[in-house]
Structure 1
C-alpha cells in the first residue's frame, strides 16, 4: 500500500500546484496525464465545478485529445448538464466513431437520467468494442444496481474484478449487492478463489477479509486481514479492518494495537484516534478514552463521533451537565442519529431539563422510529408526570409502528393497568405473551407489585409453554 499512498501524495501535490496557478492567474501548463489525475481527483471527491475548470484548462492546452473531451462530457453529466454532455459526446463520436468511450459516456448519462434500460444497452455496446475494460463492467453494474437488479449488478461487478482485482469500488458495490440480496454467504467462494490463484496478493486477502467481515464471520475476517498484513505490513486499510474485526469480537486491547498501525507513522488520522478512544471507552478506561477523542478533534473539529464519545465518557461518570455540551455539539453536526438524540435526551432528563428531554426524545423517534428505547423513555417521563393517557397513546402509536417489539407491548400493558383499564391491558398482554413469553418479566421489573395480582399471574401461566 506504500506505493499507492506515494501516488496519492503526488496527485495531491499536482492538484495543489494547479489550484495555486489558477488562484494567482498564472498560465496553466501540465502534461496530459497530470490533467487526467487532477480531473479524476475532483470527480472522485464530487468537486464537479473544479473538475470542469480543470477540463477547460486541459482542453485549451490539448484541444485534440478525445480523452479530455470525454472527461468533459462526463463532468458535465455529473453536474446534471445532460444536453451539453450529449453534444460533447456527439462531437467525439464524429471524430472517433469506434471509440468504446462514446457508448460508455452515453451509458453514464443515461444512468444519471434514470433511463437504466438505455444505459445497459450503451454499456453492452462499449463491452463489444472493449471487452477487457473493468470500468465498463463496473458502470454496467452500477446501472443494474440503481435499477434494483442486484443479481445482474453483482454478476458485472464480479467480471470487473476478474479483469482488475484491485478495483476497490467494485469490491464495495459487489459486497453491498450480495448483502442486500441475501447472497453473501454463498458467494464467499468467489473471493476465496482470488487467494487460491494468488496466495501472495495482499489485495486478494484484504478483499476476502472484507467479505467475511460483512458476512459476520469475524474470526475468518481477522485471519484474512492478518495474511494481507504479513504480505504488506504497511497495508494501513487492512490494519484498520483487522482492528474493526477485533472490536466486533470485543477484543478491544488487540483492536487498539491494530488501530495504532492503521496510519503512517507520526501521521494519525482523526478516524483512527476516535476508534482508539472508543475502544478505551468500552474498556471503561475513561481518561485515555477522553484523551484520544480530544486528539481526534484536534485534527478534525467537525468529527461528530468524537464529540459524542466525550459525552458518553462524561455520562458514564455521571457528569451529565458537562456531557450535555458534547451531546448537543454531536447532534448539531449530525442530526440524523437516533443514538445521539437518545443520549442527549437522557442527559437533559438527568439534570432536570424535562421539557428539553421530551423534545430530544421526540426528535429521536423521528430520526430513528425503529429504536424502541426512544419511545419507552419518552413515555416513562409522561407516566412519571401522571399523564397516563399521553403515555398510553404514545405506546400505542409505537407498538403499531413496531408490532414485533414485545417490550413496547409489555410497557403499554403496564400503563393500562396503572390507569385501571384492565380489559384493554389483558388484551395487550395476551398479544405480548404470544410474541415473546419470556419478556413478561419486564412487567414485574416496571411494576413489582403486579406480581401479587392473581388474575394477572394466572393469565401469564396459561401462556407458559
Structure 2
C-alpha cells in the first residue's frame, strides 16, 4: 500500500508540473505514461475540461499514439460531445481495427448516450477478446448501473474487483448497487474473502470496513478499519472512514483524533478540518468548532459546509446577525440545499427581516416542494403578520403538492377557522381526519382556544374509530 502512496505522489507531481506548464504557456516534455496518468487523474475527478486539455498537449507530443487518440475520444464522450467522440474512435478503428479499446470506447459513448443495450454488447465483445482486463468489467458494471439493472451491475463490478481489488471506484459502486437492491448483507462474504485470501492487504480490510459501515455494523467497521491502519499507518482514507464510524457512534473525541490522521501533514484537507469542526460543534465547544471550520475555509473558500457550520454555531449562540452572513455565503455556494435555505430563513426572521425570510422560504419550496416543514414554517410567518389569506393560499398550494400529508390539512383548517371561514375549514378537517385521525391533537396545539368549540369537537368525534 505504501507503494500506492508513492505512485499517488508521483501522479500528483506530474499533474502539478502539467498545470505549471499550462499556466506559463510553455512546452514541457512528459513521458507518455505521465500523460496517461495525468489524463486518468482528471477523468477520475470528473475534470473533463482539464482532461481534454491534457489529451491535446499529449497528442501534440505523441501524434502517433493510438492510446492517446482513444483517451481523447473517451474524454469527449464524458463531456457529452458524442459526435466528436464517435468520429475520433472511428478514425482509430481504421488505423487499428483489432484494438479492444475501440469496442470499449464505443461502449463508453453508448453508455453516455443512454443506449445501454448497445453499450453492453460492445463491452461484452471487448471482454471476449481481453478477458483479463478489470476496466472492461468495470465499464459493464457502469452500463448496467446507469440502466438501473443493479443485480447485473454488481455481478460485473465483482468480476472487475476479482482482477483488481484496489479499484476504489468499483468498490463504492458495488456497495451502492448492493445497498440499493437490498443485497449488501448477503454479500458480506464477498468482501471477507479478500481479507481471507490476503490478511495483510490494507485495501481489503478497508473495503470490508466500508461494507460494515453501510450496514450500520459500526463495531465490525471499526475493527476492519483498524486492521487496515495497522497494516498501513498512512492509509488516510481508512483513518477518515474510521473517524466517520466514530461519529456514527457519537464518539466525537475519538473521531477528532482520527480526522487529524486522515491527511498528509504536508497537504491538509479542508474536508478534514470541516469534519473536526462538526465534531467540536456536537461537543458544544464553539471556539474549537469555529476555529476548525475557519481552517477549512482558509484551505478551500468554496467549501459550503464550513461556512454553514460557522453559521450554525453563531445561531446556537443567538448571534443571528452574524449567522446570516455565513448562511448567505453557504447558500450562494450551494443553492440546492434545503437545510441552508431553512436556516437562513429562520435567522432572517429572528432579526426582523420578514421580507427576506419569506423570500428564503420561497426558494426552499422550489428546492424541496415535498418537504412539509417548508410550507408549515413559511405559512406561520404570514399568519403571524396577520396575513390570513396569504397563509391560507399558501397551505392550499401545499396540500395540492402533498395531498397525503395530514398535517398540512390540519394547519389549513386552523387558518380558515382563524379567518372565520368555517364551512371551508370543516371540509379540510374531514380530509385531515380521514388521512390521519391521530394527528387531530395538532389542531389544538396550534390554537388551544379551539378546544372549546363544540361543533369542532363533535365533528372530530364522528371520525374516532
Same fold (TM over 0.5): yes
Q: 1:404 to 1:175 in 2, by over 3 A?
A: farther
Residue in structure 1 matched with residue 408 of structure 2 by the alignment:
408
State the Cα deviation string for residues 256-282 of structure 1 (Å, max 9, x = none): 222222112364311111111112112
Residue in structure 2 matched with residue 362 of structure 1 by the alignment:
362
Residue in structure 1 matched with residue 328 of structure 2 by the alignment:
328
Residue in structure 1 matched with residue 85 of structure 2 by the alignment:
85
Residue in structure 2 matched with residue 342 of structure 1 by the alignment:
342
Moved over 4 A (4+): 22-27, 433-438, 454-465
1:205 is displaced (CA, Å) by: 2.2
State the Cα deviation string for residues 97-123 of structure 1 (Å, max 9, x = none): 332111111111222222222111110
State the Cα deviation string for residues 392-444 of structure 1 (Å, max 9, x = none): 22223223323443432332232233233445444544544554455444333
In the comparison of the two structures, how many residue pairs are matched? 465
Secondary structure at the counterpart of residue 290 of structure 1: helix
Q: 1:6 to 1:439 in 2, by over 3 A?
A: farther
Residue in structure 1 matched with residue 41 of structure 2 by the alignment:
41
CA distance in 2, matches of 1:402, 1:253: 42
1:447 is displaced (CA, Å) by: 1.7
Q: 1:22 to 1:298 in 2, by over 3 A?
A: closer
Map 1:57-456 → 2, pairs under 5 A: 57-265=57-265, 267-433=267-433, 435-456=435-456
Q: 1:58 to 1:192 in 2, by over 3 A?
A: same
Bigger mean CA offset, 435-444 vs 166-175: 435-444
CA distance in 1, matches of 2:58, 2:377: 59
Residue in structure 2 matched with residue 32 of structure 1 by the alignment:
32
Bigger mean CA offset, 311-320 vs 431-440: 431-440
Q: 1:330 to 1:56 in 2, by over 3 A?
A: closer
Do 1:98 and 1:129's aligned partners in 2 also have CA atoms closer than 8 Å? no
Unaligned runs of 5+ in 2: none
Q: 1:24 to 1:230 in 2, by over 3 A?
A: closer
Residue in structure 2 matched with residue 51 of structure 1 by the alignment:
51
Q: 1:83 to 1:353 in 2, by over 3 A?
A: closer
Bigger mean CA offset, 21-30 vs 205-214: 21-30
Do 1:327 and 1:343's aligned partners in 2 also have CA atoms closer than 8 Å? yes
CA distance in 2, matches of 1:234, 1:56: 35
1:7 is displaced (CA, Å) by: 2.0
CA distance in 2, matches of 1:134, 1:102: 16
Bigger mean CA offset, 220-229 vs 201-210: 220-229
CA distance in 1, matches of 2:165, 2:149: 23
Q: State TM-score, norm by structure 1.
A: 0.91
Q: State TM-score, norm by structure 2.
A: 0.91
Unaligned runs of 5+ in 1: none
State the Cα deviation string for residues 282-312 of structure 1 (Å, max 9, x = none): 2222111111111111111121111111111
1:44 is displaced (CA, Å) by: 2.6
Do 1:99 and 1:129's aligned partners in 2 also have CA atoms closer than 8 Å? no
CA distance in 2, matches of 1:4, 1:43: 19
Bigger mean CA offset, 419-428 vs 326-335: 419-428
CA distance in 2, matches of 1:265, 1:27: 32
Residue in structure 2 matched with residue 7 of structure 1 by the alignment:
7
CA distance in 2, matches of 1:96, 1:47: 28
State the Cα deviation string for residues 75-115 of structure 1 (Å, max 9, x = none): 33334444443343334334433321111111112222222
Secondary structure at the counterpart of residue 187 of structure 2: helix
CA distance in 1, matches of 2:376, 2:285: 30
1:462 is displaced (CA, Å) by: 6.2
Note the aligned Cα RMSD (angstroms).
2.5
Secondary structure at the counterpart of residue 386 of structure 1: coil
Do 1:206 and 1:228's aligned partners in 2 also have CA atoms closer than 8 Å? yes
Do 1:22 and 1:28's aligned partners in 2 also have CA atoms closer than 8 Å? no
1:203 is displaced (CA, Å) by: 1.6
Do 1:28 and 1:57's aligned partners in 2 also have CA atoms closer than 8 Å? no
Bigger mean CA offset, 104-113 vs 207-216: 207-216
CA distance in 1, matches of 2:77, 2:17: 26
Q: 1:463 to 1:238 in 2, by over 3 A?
A: farther
CA distance in 1, matches of 2:371, 2:168: 33
Do 1:273 and 1:293's aligned partners in 2 also have CA atoms closer than 8 Å? yes
Bigger mean CA offset, 58-67 vs 202-211: 58-67
Do 1:433 and 1:463's aligned partners in 2 also have CA atoms closer than 8 Å? yes
